[in-house]
Structure 1
């Protein structure tokens, strides 16, 4: 299967490291014009350097709807309409698992803002141009936590990722008549960024071994495994697939 994105513009959020960086690099390697977005300016510059001239970095806080609308308008003016949107930004924002009675309103809302509202705002901003052209791809990056439970025990993270999966299915039906597919990749545990490295270390050798034993392939995956799934969903070959959730977790 030869997947190419020549002549396509891909907007990838959360592109400063981990899955987002791998996804941005994969699009650039396959000929896309990539707009890589994140709030981490230095790391985002590293992504752009690795991707080469095909990649334009843009600092963007996806939790701010007005900023998202302005950014997409500018991107469309400078690069043309967005063909592929990958909502990868998210995470636990440095939070750790705590009993429900200890969770502050601000902590709950912050995780929902970056994992769910941001995906909504970006899709809302790119949808009009996709509708006009009767073609588009939206790929959301959720988590195994959205299908089951969070290894971290963070209630808001599991809930927001489950909500993102629900958003995926709903938008697939709303946008499908315009030739736009909306799909979701649900990664298993991957050592992909500083947060997951801390989680891995906190497990200790016994916890790490126990986690590996729950995986059918008996090994962890890599960010490239997630990027490969995104490439398929974004491709022409996946044109009759929408509203789906693909678990990329080594087998459970």
Structure 2
């Protein structure tokens, strides 16, 4: 199965490291022009460098609707339209699991802003252009936490990722008549960035052993495993696939 995207315009959010960097590289290696977005400008520059002449960096907080609208409009004006959006920006914003009574309003909101509101704002911004072209791909990156529970006990993260899965299914039906597919990749636990490394260390030896025991393949995955599923959803091989959530987690 050969998958490529010559001449396609792709936006990848959360592209500074981890899944986002692997996804950006995957598209760039297959001929797409990647518009990589993140708040971490230093690491984002490294992603763009790795992509060669196939990428451009945009500093963007996806939780800021005004900034999202302006960035998407600028990309559309430059390229003539966006073909693929990958809503990868997310994470736990440095938090670890704590009892519910210790969670502040800010702790709750900051996770929702990047994981759920950001996916909505980005999808909202690209939808009119995709509708006009009667073509498009939107791929959301959720988590196994959105299908079950957060392994680290972070209430807002599990809730936001579950909401993102609901958004995926709703938008698939709303945008389907315009030949726009909306799908979701739900990764298992992957050591993809400093935040996931911190979570893993917080589990301790016993928690890490339990985690591994519950994976059918008895090993953790890599960012490229997630990127590969994104490539499929974005490709012509997934022309009649929408509203789906695929777990890439080593088997549960």
Bucket of the pairwise TM-score, normalised by the shorter protein: over 0.9
- Length, aligned pairs only: 252
Distance 1:154 1:204 in 2: 16
The alpha carbon displacement at 1:99 in A equals 1.2
Residues 118-141 of structure 1, C-alpha deviation per residue, up to 9 Å, x if partnerless?
000000000011001110000000
User: Aligned residue for 2:207?
Assistant: 207
- RMSD over aligned Cα atoms: 0.7
Distance 1:214 1:96 in 2: 21
Q: Quick check: 2:96–2:199 contact (8 Å CA) kept in 1?
A: no
**TM-score in terms of structure 2 length:** 0.99
User: Aligned residue for 2:20?
Assistant: 20
User: Aligned residue for 2:49?
Assistant: 49
The alpha carbon displacement at 1:207 in A equals 2.4
Deviates more, 1:159-168 or 1:92-101: 92-101
User: Aligned residue for 2:245?
Assistant: 245
**TM-score in terms of structure 1 length:** 0.99
Q: Quick check: 2:130–2:136 contact (8 Å CA) kept in 1?
A: yes
Uncovered stretches (5+) of structure 2, i.e. residues with no partner: none
Query: Which stretches of structure 1, 4 residues or more, deviate above 3 A after TM superposition?
Result: none
The alpha carbon displacement at 1:80 in A equals 2.3
Distance 2:228 2:177 in 1: 26
User: Aligned residue for 1:224?
Assistant: 224
Residues 28-56 of structure 1, C-alpha deviation per residue, up to 9 Å, x if partnerless?
00000000000000000000000110010
Residues 135-167 of structure 1, C-alpha deviation per residue, up to 9 Å, x if partnerless?
000000000000000011111000000000000
Deviates more, 1:75-84 or 1:113-122: 75-84
Matches within 5 A, 1:176-187: 176-187=176-187
Q: Does the residue aligned with 1:93 lie in a helix, a strand or coil? A: coil
Distance 1:246 1:5 in 2: 22
Distance 1:79 1:209 in 2: 48
User: Aligned residue for 2:169?
Assistant: 169
Matches within 5 A, 1:70-149: 70-149=70-149
Distance 1:109 1:136 in 2: 30
Whether 1:188 and 2:181 are equivalent positions in the alignment is: no
Q: Does the residue aligned with 2:53 lie in a helix, a strand or coil? A: coil
Distance 2:198 2:61 in 1: 24
Uncovered stretches (5+) of structure 1, i.e. residues with no partner: none
Distance 1:201 1:129 in 2: 43
Distance 1:110 1:199 in 2: 18
Distance 1:18 1:231 in 2: 16
